[in-house]
Amino acid sequence: MSEENLTPKKKGFFAHIREGLSRTREALSSKVENLISYYKEMDDDFFEDLLDVLVSSDLGMKTAEDIVNRVRTQVRKEKVGDPQKVRQYMRDAIVEALGGIQDYELPRPAIITMVGVNGTGKTTTAGKLAAKYKAEGRQVILAAADTFRAAAAEQLTVWAERAGAPVIRHQEGSDPAAVVFDALASFKARGADLLIADTAGRLHNKKNLMNELEKIGRVISREAPDVSQEVFLVVDATTGQNALNQARVFSEVAHVTGIVLTKLDSTAKGGIAIAIASELGVPVRFVGLGEGIEDLMPFDPVGFAQGIL
């Protein structure tokens, strides 16, 4: 991991999102353009084909139907059936499906519990968040509560050192809740205003995962009852509908408050962001658009909708 990757670069969300979503835009926009060139008006056949386009772009049937219905409603309301208008109608519908325009700011103090399966970039994202908020003047502590995966604590420690944040860790195989307990003690003793806890991502034993996350949640609620709690689910955009399935499982075992979508620059399946936010009713908080620290960005639904259409 180079120092260059950790140096923030001044580039707006829209510039990042257009660049990062180029594959998704190419896949979706070309199909929409084909519809526009083929149809003279937005009739029932047009909407049927539009539904097929959205489903094939990894929005899933339910979310695709919701967006098509929103577009159809807008067409009837404005009494404009020109297919050339479909881009703007779709952008509006996508923003609505993503939960509308957001004005999110992480409270002070706060505790973020990172959840998600191994391989999604969860530990790296925890480190990037630490670097981001440290650069914004917060006093950050990291907790290496993924004691199951070999080298997870070492990976987080590298990020902690680069971010200039302390990390609390125990031996591999230790009780994750005990790591969080010690991290909370340090959090209070130092007067810190942000604790980020990385957790294990195994899914093969859902009951163990549920028990582990519930135990961590109980420790946080007991030891820091007045501190704002967030649970960020990290999902890999390249896995498409499988990412949605993972999100469903974790939303069942943890009170997920936000989604972090990684590897969005590496896939034509960016539509999965809309499906996850819409079906779970959980907002996307951050998106990963590359390897560098500057490529983990706060999510903007309007910029996202413009970026893919």
The two structure tokens encoding residue 243? 């990412």
Domain with CATH 1.20.120.140 in the chain: 14-97
Whether residue 5 is predicted with pLDDT greater than 90 in this model: the reply is: no
> Which residue type, as a one-letter code, is found at position 149?
R
Token output for 51:
């539904």
The CATH class, in words, for 14-97 is mainly alpha
- Compute the average pLDDT of residues 27-39: 85
What global pTM score does this model have? 0.87
Which of 23-27, 40-44, 223-227 shows the lowest per-residue confidence on average (mean pLDDT)? Answer: 23-27
For tokens 């991502």, what's the residue?
A: 201
State the pLDDT at residue 95: 92
Q: How far apart are CA 71 and CA 93, in angstroms?
A: 6
Q: In this prediction, what percent of the chain has a pLDDT beyond 70?
A: 92
Q: What is the pLDDT of residue 137?
A: 94
Better-predicted residue by pLDDT, 118 or 93: 93
Distances (CA, A) of 283 to 101, 109, 173: 10, 21, 33
pLDDT tens digits for range 138-155:
999 999 999 988 788 999
Share of the chain above pLDDT 90, in %: 41
Digit-coded pLDDT (tens) for 151-210: 889 999 998 998 899 999 999 889 999 999 999 999 999 999 999 999 987 765 677 888
Q: Does domain 110-308 have CATH number 3.40.50.300?
A: yes
The pLDDT of residue 181: 97
Residue 103: what pLDDT? 77
Instruction: Give the mean model confidence (pLDDT) for residues 272-298.
Output: 85
pLDDT in tens, 59-77: 889 999 999 999 999 888 8
Q: Where in the chain is the domain with CATH 3.40.50.300?
A: 110-308
Mean pLDDT to the nearest integer, 107-126: 92
Structure confidence at residue 36 (pLDDT): 85
Going across the sheet that includes 167-168, the strands are 167-168, 140-145, 194-199, 110-115, 228-236, 258-262, 284-288, 296-298
Flag the least confident range among 47-51, 54-58, 69-73.
54-58
250-254 contacts, C-beta under 8 A, 24 or more apart: 250/115, 250/116, 251/280, 251/282, 252/210, 253/206, 253/209, 253/210, 253/213, 253/214, 254/113, 254/115, 254/213, 254/217
- CA–CA distance, 230 with 302 (Å, rounded to integer): 23
Rounded average pLDDT over 107-125 = 92
Are the CB atoms for 304 and 255 separated by under 8 Å? no
What is the pLDDT of the chain when averaged over all its residues? 86
Q: Which secondary-structure segment (H or E) carries 305? A: helix 301-308
CA distance 72 to 47: 8
> Is the alpha carbon torsion for 181, 186, 192, 198 positive or negative?
negative
Confidence tier at 225 by pLDDT (50, 70, 90): very high
